[in-house]
Every structure is written in structure tokens, then in C-alpha cells.
Amino acid sequence: MRKILIVGAGQSGLQLALGLQSHGYEVTVMSNRTADEIRGGRIMSTQCMFDQALQHERDLEINFWENQSPRTEGLGVSVAGPDGSRPVDWLGRLDGHAQSIDQRVKMAGWLETFAQRGGQLVIHGAAVSDLDFLARTYDLVLVAAGKGELVSMFERDAARSPYDEPQRALAVSYVHGLERRPEHPDMLAVRFNLVPGVGELFMIPGYTLSGACDIMFWEGVPGGPLDVFQGVRDPAEHLSLTLELMERFTPWEYARATRVELTDANATLAGRYAPTVRKPVGRLPSGGAVLGVADVVVANDPITGQGSNAAAKCAAVYLDSILERGEKPFDAEWMQATFDRYWETAARHITKWSNALLVPPPAHVLELIGACGQYQALADRFANAFSDPSDLENWFFDPEKARACLAELAAAEPAAEPSA
């Protein structure tokens, strides 16, 4: 059976490794940390995954925590007014539940499962020189480690990368003790709070090392009032800043967070990066080719919560492409075609949507967001776009399609009074 090397032990790398392993491939995974080091480390992301992406885990029967993690059944949007009010506030229902499982839990568990099933695990921070040597002994090398030296092998795709600088400053806290939204105490929901000109606050039900939790995630416009986390090292100070900003900009969320505490000493994270699309084929010094995976080649801002979803979809496409290839060579042409398949089916929709939300919304988008408070069907459609962003092409981006969508809703459903 063919030998495959996967560098990186995140959502895409391990999902792909476990999938290939289940089909009898001889797979080696290189990780810069052991499972215990991952569990004992800092949180890595917010990783809320929606139904379409979760299905890929179910298909491989690696959804080990699905019955333990809280199930998110809705997604709501609130827009902050200058006086602390909510001129827009609504909740959409998800067709299939979403879940956010701390990557320290999932990746450590998957790494151990991979080793228990006979996979070759190498704990080593790989450099380009390592891959140049190792590539000679493998039929295919996949790079799924989205940071560090290895990313430099993949050329930036300027035509698909409109931003050179980070568009948001990011700050995440995992907490216990958050109260439910009083408007829907019986439904777990992701809350997407927009503060025009300032940034966004996401409130995400999650599951961590100590069980059920909530994730509070600020995205701030660089240089603005939310851009205050850089250099903050003390977790307690990080949480205090998070709450101060909530009290100032989203008092309705602060009201249910007055008794929260961090889930553990490593439950905060801050940073920023420029959204970037890279060309998928990396060249080694000796001339060999390697294939970039997930956020190595498509790294979007997390404003639409698509990082882990995109990684799962990328791994699923790559798995199918590898299986279909049989004994034919994994050459550069096949690598490009495999990435193109991922781009067309998933990544282009995610990238377009993520980049669109980083700029002030055009008039028709403002109208659509407001109309979600009047038409439950539209609120549900927006919520489910987080699972399948391709649907946005039919009604969200184009003003004419947006008007047609609203006209169809008006004809079919009497408008409800906007919620307070």
C-alpha cells in the first residue's frame, strides 16, 4: 500500500490521516507536540463546526465527543446601537446541530487513536530540509501545519488575497458560569454581535477539558477600542478586559457574564493574521512537490467561524482524491487539480463570504440582516449558511438577488414585528 506523510496534527491533518488509515494506507504523521503536550497547552481556536463539516467526522466514525458536547441548535445576530441598544436582534434555527470541541481535547484524542490503530507518529517540528529528505521515501507529502517555516514553500496567490495586513485583532476566552440568553433559555445558540465600526463579539457554546463551557471571542478592528489584547499575558487580565469591553459595547451579553471564570489557566488566546490564499503546490529544494492542506493554502479571518469547517471539508475532498488516484503518481498536476476541487466546492464560497464581512456592509446586506428579524425563514437561511456557505450566492452577495429573495418572502410570509 502507498506511503503518505502528513505534517501537522490539526483538524485537517488528523482527519485525513485517520481516513487514509481506515483504507489501509501506510500513514506517517509528524506533530510538533505529543498528545499530553496538546492537552496541557493553550487553547488553539474557537472551532465551532456546523452540520455539513461534522458529517465528515461521522462518516469516518471519529466523532468521539458528539454525545458529550453541548449541541448548538441556533445562530443569532445582534447589532449594537450607539446607546447600548439592539436595533437588530434575531435568532435563526439550524437544520442540524453545531458543536465546538476544544482542539486540545479532539486533537489529543485523535493523535492517540491514530497511534493505537498502528499509525507511525513522529514528534518533531519539521523544517523544509526535513521534508526534502523524507519526501524521497513517501509517495505523497501533505503539509497541514499552517504556521512556521513550511508555509513559506507556498506562494501567495495575489489574485485571491485582497488583504496584506490583518483585518481583525482576535481575543478568545473559554469560561464556565455564563448564563443563558433570557430570550431563548432552552436553546443553545451561537450569538454573533456586530458593533459597527468597532468589531464583533461571538458567544459560542463549547466543550473543553473540564466539560461544557462557553467561548467569548472578540474580533476588533485594528487600532480601534477592541485592539487592546496585544502584550497581555496574564489570563485574569485578559478576561477582565474582555468583560470590560462587553459591558461597554454589548451590555446584554455582559449581563449574563457577571459570574464567569476561566475554565483553566490556558483558556485565553490573542493574536492576528492576514487572510491569505496560497498556491497549493510547494517546491522542495531538490525539486520535489508537496501539497498544502487547509489553512496552509486558504487561511481566512475567523469572522464567519469557518476555520475548522473548511479544514474538515478540505480533508474530505483530499481523501476522495487520493483514493480515486489509485496507483497513479501524485504529481504536481494532480495536486493542483485536487486543490481546485476543494476551492470550487467549498473554499471559494468561504473566502468570498469571510472577506465580505470584513468591510462595512453594503445597503442590500444591511436590509437583509434587518429583514431576518421579520422573516423567520430568512433568519434560518442565514444561520444555515454557516454550514453551507455556497447558498449565499443565491441571495446574499448580489443586490438584485437580495431584492428577489425579499420579494419572494414578502409574498409568502407576512412580516413579523422586529424583535426587541
144 and 261 part of one domain: no
Per-residue pLDDT tens digits for 8-33: 999 999 999 999 999 999 999 999 99
Q: Which CATH number goes with the domain that contains 295?
A: 3.50.50.60
Percent of the chain with pLDDT over 70: 98
* Domain end call among 340, 357, 374: 357
Residues 54 and 127 in one domain: yes
The residue from 246, 271, 296 where one domain ends is 271
Verify that 280 and 265 share a domain, yes or no. Answer: no
Domain count, the chain: 3
Task: Say if strands 72-79 and 169-176 run parallel, antiparallel, or are unpaired.
Answer: unpaired
For residues 120 and 214, membership in a common domain is answered with: no
Considering the domain architecture, whether residues 146 and 203 belong to the same structural domain is answered as no
User: Domain check: are 82 and 121 in the same one?
Assistant: no
Range with lowest mean pLDDT among 38-47, 100-109, 390-399, 407-416 = 407-416
pLDDT, average across residues 308-319:
98
Residue 82 lies inside a defined structural domain of this protein = yes
Residue 417 lies in a domain: no
Distance CA 8, CA 122 (A): 10
| 191 located within any domain | yes
Q: Which pLDDT score is estimated for 386?
A: 98
User: Residue 416 — very low, low, confident or very high, per pLDDT cuts 50/70/90?
Assistant: low
For residue 217, tell me if it sits in a domain: yes
CB of 364 closer than 8 Å to CB of 336: no
Q: Which residues, in sequence order, are CB contacts of 267 under 8 Å at separation 6+?
A: 43, 173, 174, 175, 208, 235
Within a domain: residue 42? yes
Task: With beta carbons less than 8 A apart as the criterion, state whether 131 and 289 touch.
Answer: no
In a domain, 67, yes or no: no
Same domain, 94 and 195: yes
Percentage of the chain exceeding pLDDT 90: 95
Q: Which has more pLDDT, 147 or 228?
A: 228
Domain-embedded: residue 120 = yes
Q: Which domain holds residue 371?
A: 363-412
Residue 420's pLDDT band (boundaries 50, 70, 90)?
A: very low
Please enumerate in sequence order all residues whose Cβ is within 8 A of that of 303, keeping only pairs 6 or more positions apart, or say none. Answer: 168, 200, 219, 354, 357, 358
Residue 176 belongs to a domain with what CATH number? Answer: 3.30.9.40
209 and 303 belong to one structural domain: no
- Residue 42, classified by CB atoms within 10 Å of its CB into exposed (0-12), middle (13-18) or buried (19+), is middle
Same domain, residue pair 111 and 196: no
* 148 shares its domain with 284: yes
Residue 127 · residue 420 · CB < 8 Å: no
Residue 84 pLDDT level (bands cut at 50, 70, 90)? confident
| Residue 325 is assigned to a structural domain of this protein | yes
Q: How far is CA 379 from the centre of its chain?
A: 21
Residue 95 sits in the same domain as residue 237: yes
Same domain, 150 and 214: no
Among 216, 244, 271, identify where a domain stops: 271
Residues 314-342 have a mean pLDDT of 98
Tell me the average pLDDT across 243-267: 98
